[in-house]
Structure 1
């Protein structure tokens, strides 16, 4: 790391400021999974690396277990900044917010000073799409601080409304007990972001069961975030990892009461005073003149619910705003920083990885981008290789993980594995489905085109993930097997070994 004097124009003050500018070979912005993985995977041990984190902790991946060539389990742990620095001696970790990026001079203006880079990787993640963001009774869940706020509010709640149909909403509905939940989704079936209607029906039965008395053990270390007076405490930390929901059950009652409102959106919110002034007959039968709620939600189907608060879980927006000022980045259709097959943005020497970027290369047929922690880790690691290769003038090839989409998670107590084009993505509805389901045990769906497997959903302990991964990657013609491919009397795993 070198220091030198640098004249820098700070437009907000309209003056020239002279500061000590620190020079690093690599600078990574973001303390989430993508940014930390990028820092850890840089093999240039003799070079100076700076990681800028907006919070007092960073997200590190631990206990990685490779299930197949493309599928892996891992835990996400919150580590203090000094712990990461001690594990990676050539990495300097600084808590700082980025004020401005001067891509022409390769300078980052931050709340902790000016930093100059040779290679920059932006891993700033994404910002939640929040309905009615200024309403104090609308919460969102994205990082550790937002989970803390949720736990505080849910402790005394009797009824909440959850809006959204992705992974966070699904797990939240399942984990909560002792509180009435109104689940408002825009689709016909639950968790349509990930699974089809058949899989949704299989999982939905779990909501009707009494919650098991399981002992949840979280492997994450937790750190208290102390904000100084006047400091921005709205900065987002790294996105939650796969075990974010552990320990959410803080009610003694194991019973769930879930009402699913499908094919709806939020039409309006009303304060108690606004609701009393309304003259309508389309109110929830549980709303009486004697019971007042902090907020009322009107759905597009006309139903109105009173509740203690609302959870907005309707997706994310790439967190690019601070970098776009005076920088001509090319953006993807979803607003992310467009990157090529070397994770390079449209501006020289600047890379991006994780939720903030949009894949702009000609992707493999069985791969597509989803803003998930698994892809954040993969992109962060690959970006590190690409930056090193560029400075070292070495030839590298795209990581094998980008050959096929693969994700493992847990929904409503079941292990869920998604492989390839698991919902027929890219296939223009021209495919066949092979299906095997056993109530409360397993759900297996194969997406087939001309006798070749293109994707699969595996719910439960099927032990078929490696076999199906190979069948998708190898594109073996399975026409001769027909429906017998999923015959429960046939040991598929052994047959195709």
Structure 2
């Protein structure tokens, strides 16, 4: 029986976990990971620490050369894949090389969404997604005293904190009336904002950026819809991400928000699977590390002939935002429609969302003790009637 050839496009957490999973099932098959980046698999969530100077580039790398050798996985970096012939099962690289496969995993991830703001294409405007973005931000930081962050999402706030540690004055402009709108309700957002203001951040909430101003093609500030101007020699845009669908579309796979996959993470193409930020499962594109990891595991097992099912991942995040512990899981009930238990002080805000004596969501700011148990109760749909007054 001939050995199978497995190709994986993308070396983030989904692609790398899948490769590991394939190798466990199939000790003999040939596994190649193709990545357009210039580093092996690294911790993207630690890019802010790299910007702040807390970790070196070497320390970001999660899987060293030795790991790939031990797993007998070929990693090809600086390799951009531009074509997919799903019918004849082969990929084409930017340089024109043809790469045949028996099984393929698309783990192409996502890219930063850049809203159509006038002046967004000037020098000094960045998004943070990859190591090359972090390097560029670091190079510009040396020439900038004031930084503007468009978007109060997690990656943006973390990048802002890294630059604050380098002595920069940081202003955050957020379209929503609160910070981390996906993870926090208005009280949780307000508590986080107060703690960050004490650290020196300033905020413009419910604000829209009309123009990024500049001279000689170099950004020097922004003008808000209301007419206010904010100065800054550097603008970081953190307005969400969009799946990288070019390759899936080139292969005529069925896509909507992401590449459509079933519970086995198979796409509409024979022998072609998708996992991570690029995959849309039951109408959801998760975009979170735990989901990418779980999907990589399931996809890898199935690619190598296993029978694994993916049933979704509870949206759960444990974060450190500017050194402040923040955690959120399930339905955060920002509209206040459900029963809830709340604990609140100057430094801490905690909320447990309850429906029919079951925990359905949770928010914690400033103290995340007990969060893992509560997350488990949410996933397991356990009855917490006797516990609900003591869980927080």
TM-score clears 0.5: yes
DSSP-derived class of the 1:329 partner: coil
- The residue aligned with 2:318 is 408
Distance in 2 between the 1:403 and 1:143 partners?
24
- The residue aligned with 1:51 is 33
Kindly indicate whether the alpha-carbon contact (under 8 Å) linking 2:68 and 2:75 is maintained by their aligned counterparts in 1.
yes
Q: TM-score, normalised by structure 2?
A: 0.85
- Please point out which of 215, 218, 222 is paired with 1:297: 222
- Please point out which of 243, 249, 253 is paired with 1:329: 253
DSSP-derived class of the 1:27 partner: strand
Distance 1:83 1:56, change over 3 A: farther
1:477 Cα deviation (Å)?
Answer: 4.0
Kindly indicate whether the alpha-carbon contact (under 8 Å) linking 2:248 and 2:259 is maintained by their aligned counterparts in 1.
no
- The residue aligned with 1:223 is none
Kindly indicate whether the alpha-carbon contact (under 8 Å) linking 2:290 and 2:313 is maintained by their aligned counterparts in 1.
no
- The residue aligned with 2:172 is 183
In structure 2, the gaps of 5 or more residues are 44-58
Provide, for residues 303-361 of structure 1, a one-character-per-residue CA deviation record: whole Å limited to 9, x for no partner.
Answer: 12232121111111111113312x322223xx311111111112221111111111137
DSSP-derived class of the 2:61 partner: strand
- The residue aligned with 2:102 is 118
- The residue aligned with 2:124 is 137
- Please point out which of 89, 103, 111 is paired with 1:127: 111
- The residue aligned with 2:195 is 206
Q: Does 1:157 align with 2:144?
A: yes
Aligned positions, number:
369
Higher helix proportion: 2
Kindly indicate whether the alpha-carbon contact (under 8 Å) linking 1:36 and 1:58 is maintained by their aligned counterparts in 2.
no
- The residue aligned with 1:6 is none
- Please point out which of 203, 213, 226 is paired with 1:270: 213
* Structure 2 counterparts to residues 39-118 of structure 1, below 5 A: 39-42=19-22, 43=24, 44-59=26-41, 77-78=60-61, 82-89=65-72, 91-95=73-77, 96-111=79-94, 113-118=97-102
Q: TM-score, normalised by structure 1?
A: 0.68
- The residue aligned with 2:56 is none
Distance 1:173 1:405, change over 3 A: same
1:39 Cα deviation (Å)?
Answer: 0.9
Distance 1:56 1:462, change over 3 A: closer
DSSP-derived class of the 2:101 partner: strand
Distance in 2 between the 1:475 and 1:40 partners?
31
Kindly indicate whether the alpha-carbon contact (under 8 Å) linking 1:57 and 1:79 is maintained by their aligned counterparts in 2.
no
Distance 1:32 1:471, change over 3 A: closer
* Structure 2 counterparts to residues 460-471 of structure 1, below 5 A: 460-471=366-377
Distance 1:207 1:317, change over 3 A: same
- The residue aligned with 2:245 is 320
Kindly indicate whether the alpha-carbon contact (under 8 Å) linking 2:32 and 2:76 is maintained by their aligned counterparts in 1.
yes
- The residue aligned with 1:343 is 265
Kindly indicate whether the alpha-carbon contact (under 8 Å) linking 1:57 and 1:80 is maintained by their aligned counterparts in 2.
no
- Please point out which of 337, 347, 361 is paired with 1:455: 361
1:93 Cα deviation (Å)?
Answer: 1.5
Distance in 2 between the 1:142 and 1:418 partners?
22
1:429 Cα deviation (Å)?
Answer: 6.2
1:403 Cα deviation (Å)?
Answer: 5.4
Kindly indicate whether the alpha-carbon contact (under 8 Å) linking 2:122 and 2:219 is maintained by their aligned counterparts in 1.
no
- The residue aligned with 1:214 is none
1:26 Cα deviation (Å)?
Answer: 1.1
1:408 Cα deviation (Å)?
Answer: 1.8
1:192 Cα deviation (Å)?
Answer: 1.3
1:168 Cα deviation (Å)?
Answer: 1.0
- Please point out which of 307, 323, 327 is paired with 2:232: 307
- Which has more radius of gyration? 1
Distance 1:129 1:462, change over 3 A: closer
Distance in 2 between the 1:473 and 1:445 partners?
17
Q: Does 1:379 align with 2:300?
A: no
Distance in 2 between the 1:172 and 1:206 partners?
17
Distance 1:417 1:296, change over 3 A: closer
Q: Does 1:30 align with 2:10?
A: yes
RMSD: 2.8
1:374 Cα deviation (Å)?
Answer: 2.3
Distance in 2 between the 1:136 and 1:162 partners?
15
Distance in 1 between the 2:63 and 2:386 partners?
56
Distance in 1 between the 2:373 and 2:170 partners?
39
Distance in 1 between the 2:343 and 2:242 partners?
36
Q: Does 1:359 align with 2:343?
A: no
1:194 Cα deviation (Å)?
Answer: 1.8
DSSP-derived class of the 1:463 partner: coil
- Please point out which of 153, 156, 159 is paired with 1:172: 159
Distance 1:111 1:448, change over 3 A: same
Distance 1:110 1:294, change over 3 A: closer
